[in-house]
Structures are given as structure tokens and as C-alpha cells.
Amino acid sequence: MKITKLDDTFNYLKERPKKRLVVAYGQDANTVESVHQAVSMGLIEATIVGDEKVIQKVCKEKGCDHKAFEIINEPDENKAGTVAVDQILDGKGDFLMKGLISTDKYMRAILNKERGLLPPGGVLSHVTVFECQNYHKLLIAGDVAVIPQPDLKQKIAITNYLIKTAHSLGIAEPKIAIISATEKVNPKMSSCVDGAIIAKMSQRGQIKGAIIDGPFAMDVAIDKESADVKGIEGVVAGDADGLLFPEIVSGNVFYKTMTKMAKAKLGAFVVGAKVPAILPSRGDDAKCKLYSIALAALSA
């Protein structure tokens, strides 16, 4: 089944064995509401770690049944993050989500060297799936939130995460565009050089499961007419499923332009740990969190 709209993830998940989400310090109304909705829709099972009294109060205020998910009472924010990670490590959960816990404490629990979720040599990255009315299909992008200035090794890891996410959406051979400021290989621009290297690695079978091309300027990656005018050939030009950004600034600008100006729908999560980890933005609404839950469940 190929998923072409974010809402399609819901029907797909209903037909699969349910994964269990573990929420770290999940006692804010927005998180509780989105998790409750995901459980009520039959998409997942859920465990929320946090202050049980506060969670029950929020549920009552929002009209949610607190019995829809397991609640592990841990009022301390730091300990709640640790307990949530322990649930994953003990096989009692399939993916993780940040609740009211601060991002630094959430990431600290994930990155804990003795009892964390990052494999040796692992690379954490952020993957976003956009649905925009001005583009003809879903668009997967990375990294827009975690790695400030990825080196070549990290870019290869991010590329593989884009491919894996595309596969989870039923895209058998995704088209990945390596983004730079120009489609001409300029030796003075590391993004151009890295793009050319990654594209060549793909051609030689060193990166599998996708068709990769680049470097591409953004217009060439997503607009067939621009690619034709510039004389850029190949199946990726103008029809990309995934975008690899050269660094976090361009990726983050794209992310916020898509959400604020293009009004795109999206879901996002952190990859590279032993399980997907949802890291919601403070500006995410309940629907965005619901999409993120669904996408992470597909990848778990």
C-alpha cells in the first residue's frame, strides 16, 4: 500500500498489529489530547509517564477517558524521562514521545550512555513528512532540527533515514534530491561536492533502496518545468520524494516556510535511536502531533 496523504496512515495502521507509544512526562493538554485520539482511533496503544493526578485532571478537562492508556505515576520530570526510556529498553514500548519534559532532559534520557537508546556510533537525525497542496505528493525532508552542520558521513546517514521513511510509506524506490544552491558542481561549495559524492555512491550501489541525484537547487528538485528549462535530465529532477538539506539553517527555513506560508500538513520524528522518538515543536497543534504519532508508528 502506497501512502499518498497523511490521513492514509490512519487506515494503514488500523490494519496492522498495534505498536505501543511511551510518552515522557505527558501531562500537557495538547499531548494528552493527541495521544488519546490516536488510541481512540485504533492506531496505537499508549503508556503515559507523568504525574497521575495531573494527567487525570487534564483528561477530565478535555473529555478524554484516562483508562484509554496506561499511566505510570512519576511526578518528577527528570525521572519521568528515564522511566519512559526504561519502558522501551524493557520491551514494554515500541516508540517514544516527548510530553511536557524539556527537550534537553528528553534528549539526555535518550542519549544516556549507560541506559539510553542511541546505538554505538549512531547518528540522531530529524525526518519530516510534508503534505502540501502545491506539490503533487508527500515530501520527506531532513535534517531540519537536530544536526547543525552535517558532515559527509552524517549526510549519508540522513539520506538512509529518508529512504527508510519513504519505504515505510510504501514508496518502493524513492527519488532523493541532494539540495544545494546550484545544480552545477562547484568545488568551492561543500554541499555541491557532497551531493555529487552521494549521488555517485548511489549509482554504484553503495546506498541502496532509492534513486539519488544531485546536487540540485530547490527549483530543480521539485519543479519539472524548471528542470526542463535548465536542461537537467533524470527521473529525480522535478519529482523528488525526499530532500536532503546541506545544513540545519536551510532545512529549518524550508520547514517553517512550508508550515507558515504554504500551510502544509506535516508529521515529524527523530530517527537513529533504537526506536523512533517524537520531538514535537512548541508550535505543533494536536493534529500535527497525531500525524507524527502515526508516522513514527509506521517506522517503529
* Residues facing residue 46 across a β-bridge: 21
pTM of the model: 0.95
Distance CA 234, CA 129 (A): 23
Q: Are residues 247 and 130 in the same domain?
A: yes
What's the total number of domains in the chain? 2
| Residue 230 located in a structural domain | yes
| Residue 244 located in a structural domain | yes
What CATH code is carried by the domain that includes residue 95? 3.40.50.10950
| Residue 267 located in a structural domain | no
**In this predicted structure, what is the pLDDT of residue 284?**
79
Give me the residues of the chain with pLDDT under 50, please.
none
The pairing of strands 265-271 and 125-131 is antiparallel
Q: Are residues 133 and 229 in the same domain?
A: yes
Q: Are residues 239 and 141 in the same domain?
A: yes
The DSSP line for 188-222 is T-HHHHHHHHHHHHHHTTSS-SSEEEEEE-HHHHH
Say if residues 277 and 270 touch (Cβ distance below 8 Å).
Answer: yes
| Residue 266 located in a structural domain | no
Can you give the residue range of the structural domain that contains 166?
125-260
Q: Are residues 106 and 149 in the same domain?
A: no
Q: Are residues 156 and 250 in the same domain?
A: yes
Q: Are residues 152 and 206 in the same domain?
A: yes
| Residue 161 located in a structural domain | yes
| Residue 2 located in a structural domain | no
**In this predicted structure, what is the pLDDT of residue 58?**
96
Q: Are residues 134 and 252 in the same domain?
A: yes
| Residue 132 located in a structural domain | yes
| Residue 35 located in a structural domain | yes
Q: Are residues 213 and 152 in the same domain?
A: yes
Q: Are residues 254 and 146 in the same domain?
A: yes
- The DSSP 8-state label assigned to residue 119 in this structure reads P
Q: Are residues 284 and 225 in the same domain?
A: no
* Residue 135 CB-density burial (10 A; 0-12 exposed, 13-18 middle, 19+ buried): middle
**In this predicted structure, what is the pLDDT of residue 1?**
73
Q: Are residues 146 and 199 in the same domain?
A: yes
Q: Are residues 254 and 144 in the same domain?
A: yes
**In this predicted structure, what is the pLDDT of residue 176?**
98
Handedness of CA 129, 4, 232, 203 (dihedral sign): positive
Read off the C-alpha cell for 85.
526510556
What CATH code is carried by the domain that includes residue 165? 3.40.718.10
